[in-house]
A and B are shown apart, each in its own frame.
Chain A
Amino acid sequence: MATVEELKLRVRELENELIKCKQKQCAMEDALHRPKIDKMSAEVVDSNPYSRLMALKRMGVVEDYEKIRTFTVAVVGVGGVGSVTAEMLTRCGIGKLLLFDYDKVELANMNRLFFQPHQAGLSKVEAAELTLRNINPDVLFETHNYNITTMENFTHFMDRISHGGLEEGSPVDLVLSCVDNFEARMAINTACNELGQIWMESGVSENAVSGHIQLIIPGETACFACAPPLVVAANIDEKTLKREGVCAASLPTTMGVVAGLLVQNVLKYLLKFGSVSYYLGYNAMQDFFPTMAMKANPQCNDRHCRRQQEEYNKKEAQRPKVEVVEVEEDVVHEDNEWGIELVSETTDADLQAASGTMPDLPEGITVAYTIPAAQDTTNGETVEETEQSLEDLMAQMRKL
């Protein structure tokens, strides 16, 4: 006899099955599936989905637009920013997209772009693939519905980053972090440092009025563990910001802007036009866009980051010295008509108790928190050496 729990689970399974069937049927009904296109054409006709993109070549903005079809991009997190990012890359005709997300589409997501109410209940990666394939059948998709931060999944994630390229076995060209939490960002950072994989990080603040994008080249630019998270000063008095009863706010506008900034940077990086931003912030309250670049921290906690730095420094030392154009981003604003200033996320008491050094950052960018330079040496008792085995301890815990 099945238990209520089992039956509930079964109902849920069947519901999911039904949603998928409906989805497939819808897709079949309304899809005027255009055939795949072998070669991008620059011909300006109504039926050519790439004509306006190829015009970038004629105008001299991009040298070789077709090259976009040779690239593979992994999008981690297919939420408010990631889904729009994936759609933009799909419309641009990217070669292959890998999508990672463990979440389902919910009606609570409908204040954001891309997903539609009838997709509620489907996994985000599955729903995204159906929509995106419909928009552009030339793109190859690979989806993974799991949480990358757990042991098994992380191993698989690393494997797909290093082998999931267009030509199976080759690494992806770029990883985009569109996740909404620190753990997942750190997991991506760990993977990319180990693999030497270039990636871009993106984020929107929990109050929905600021965001940022950041290019991370392991060993060269600061990784995500090199410094406390960089955030855009929102210029809202923390004391007036009410956090009672809510976790996070979100706006389709801010997320759309950040996704746009991110994909713009991706296109510039992949197709080699314009200048690629290392860090670009967006302060929605004042419409202020601070930029900066930050070198990797030789004392970074991540040993693979330090290893990548050694390799990078070796390579740099071997390179014939050409005039080094060091763009030291020392932005000085004569006037400050918007009254933008650094706003600390912590209380004054906290700062006094453990004031860490504030890195030298341009106006409008700050760190989420500071960390004391030298960990206040072991004041406080530590665990004692024990003769007990792990099994003994587990048993002891169970008996409590």
Chain B
Amino acid sequence: MADEATRKAVSQIPLLKTHAGPRDRALWPQRLKEEYQALIRFVEQNKAADNDWFRLESNADGTRWTGTCWFIHELLRYEFRLEFDIPVTYPDTAPEVAVPELDGKTAKMYRGGKICLTEHFAPLWARNAPRFGLAHLMALGLGPWLAVEVPDLISKGLVVHKEQQREAAE
């Protein structure tokens, strides 16, 4: 299960109320508003805790999300692009978050750069559907994944800090 800090962060994210996926034309806009409300709150909380670590935005109908996430390791900031589609079965199933630029660098990833979550994630999501939203996905899915994978990738030299890379090239 998630560590204490993650649990605490998750408990502060407001839960969502509307059970609607993107095929539900009438209720999806309401769900989307709730998603944004929860995400805004989560980012604000992260900032307040001096642990701001991602940004997300969607297309107009809220079916495709893109953004960036970053991870601080030994005082250096490593930034990655992230993307995912909202599956038709959302929110009963979680979206598959992808970090395309890390594709092929770690075994904890499916093709296309989709991150491989721990065995605990699916039961956790299923038990909390439909009240968990994208903010919860970030906190319980991507966050812990980055915390494990990025330091490992850096230690293996598979992820190099952009400035160091530039220096090496010069």
Chain A positions within 8 Å of B, measured between CB atoms, are 103-104, 106, 147, 149-151, 154, 181-183, 186-187, 190, 225, 228, 243, 245-248, 301, 345-347, 349-350, 354, 356, 368-372, 375, 378, 380-384, 386, 388-390, 393-394, 396-398, 400
Q: Are B32 and A149 in contact (CB under 8 A)?
A: no
Shortest Cβ distance from A55 into chain B, in angstroms? 42
B88 within 8 A of A: yes
Q: Are B87 and A247 in contact (CB under 8 A)?
A: no
CB-CB under 8 A from A397, the residues of chain B are 36, 39-40, 43, 55-57
Whether A225 contacts B37 in the complex (CB less than 8 A), given A245-B108, A381-B15, comes out as no
Whether A371 contacts B16 in the complex (CB less than 8 A), given A187-B88, A190-B89, comes out as no
CB-CB under 8 A from B14, the residues of chain A are 381-384
A181 to B89, CA, bound (A): 13
A247 to B88, CA, bound (A): 24
Q: Are B37 and A384 in contact (CB under 8 A)?
A: yes
Q: Are A103 and B127 in contact (CB under 8 A)?
A: no
Q: Are A225 and B15 in contact (CB under 8 A)?
A: no
Question: Which single member of A186, A345, A383 contacts B92 (CB below 8 Å)?
Answer: A186
CB-CB under 8 A from B93, the residues of chain A are 182-183, 186
CB-CB under 8 A from B95, the residues of chain A are 183
Across the A-B interface, give the 5 residue pairs with the lowest CB-CB distance, nearest first: A369-B123, A393-B36, A247-B116, A149-B87, A186-B89
Shortest Cβ distance from B85 into chain A, in angstroms? 5
Shortest Cβ distance from A83 into chain B, in angstroms? 16
Question: Which single member of A147, A243, A383, A398 contacts B16 (CB below 8 Å)?
Answer: A383
Q: Are B15 and A378 in contact (CB under 8 A)?
A: yes
Whether A400 contacts B126 in the complex (CB less than 8 A), given A103-B111, A151-B63, A349-B1, comes out as no
B150 within 8 A of A: no
Give B36-94 interface residues, CB cut-off 8 Å to A: 36-41, 43-44, 47, 55-58, 63, 85-89, 92-94
What total of A-B pairs shows CB separation below 8 Å?
127
Give the interface residue-count category, chain B.
Answer: 35 or more
Q: Are A383 and B17 in contact (CB under 8 A)?
A: yes
Q: Are B15 and A380 in contact (CB under 8 A)?
A: yes
Shortest Cβ distance from A244 into chain B, in angstroms? 9
Whether A246 contacts B107 in the complex (CB less than 8 A), given A350-B123, A396-B40, comes out as yes
A78 to B14, CA, bound (A): 40
Question: Which single member of B36, B41, B88, B96 contacts A190 (CB below 8 Å)?
Answer: B88
A394 to B56, CA, bound (A): 10
Chain B positions within 8 Å of A, measured between CB atoms, are 1, 11, 14-17, 22-23, 29, 32-34, 36-41, 43-44, 47, 55-58, 63, 85-89, 92-96, 107-111, 116, 118-120, 122-123, 126-127, 131
Q: Are B40 and A382 in contact (CB under 8 A)?
A: no
A118 to B143, CA, bound (A): 38
Q: Are B122 and A369 in contact (CB under 8 A)?
A: yes
Q: Are B96 and A181 in contact (CB under 8 A)?
A: yes
A257 to B63, CA, bound (A): 38
Shortest Cβ distance from A38 into chain B, in angstroms? 41
What are 27 A-B pairs with beta-carbon distances under 8 A? A151-B23, A181-B110, A182-B122, A183-B93, A186-B93, A187-B89, A190-B88, A243-B118, A246-B108, A247-B109, A247-B116, A350-B1, A369-B122, A371-B127, A380-B11, A380-B131, A381-B15, A382-B16, A383-B16, A383-B34, A389-B33, A390-B29, A390-B32, A390-B36, A397-B43, A397-B57, A398-B57
Q: Are B39 and A183 in contact (CB under 8 A)?
A: no
CB-CB under 8 A from B85, the residues of chain A are 147, 149-150
Shortest Cβ distance from B39 into chain A, in angstroms? 6
A345 to B1, CA, bound (A): 12
Shortest Cβ distance from A301 into chain B, in angstroms? 6
CB-CB under 8 A from A301, the residues of chain B are 92
CB-CB under 8 A from B41, the residues of chain A are 383
A246 to B118, CA, bound (A): 11
Q: Are A149 and B39 in contact (CB under 8 A)?
A: no
Closest Cβ neighbor of A396 among chain B residues: B40
Question: Which single member of B17, B37, B87, B120 contacts A183 (CB below 8 Å)?
Answer: B87
CB-CB under 8 A from B119, the residues of chain A are 243, 345
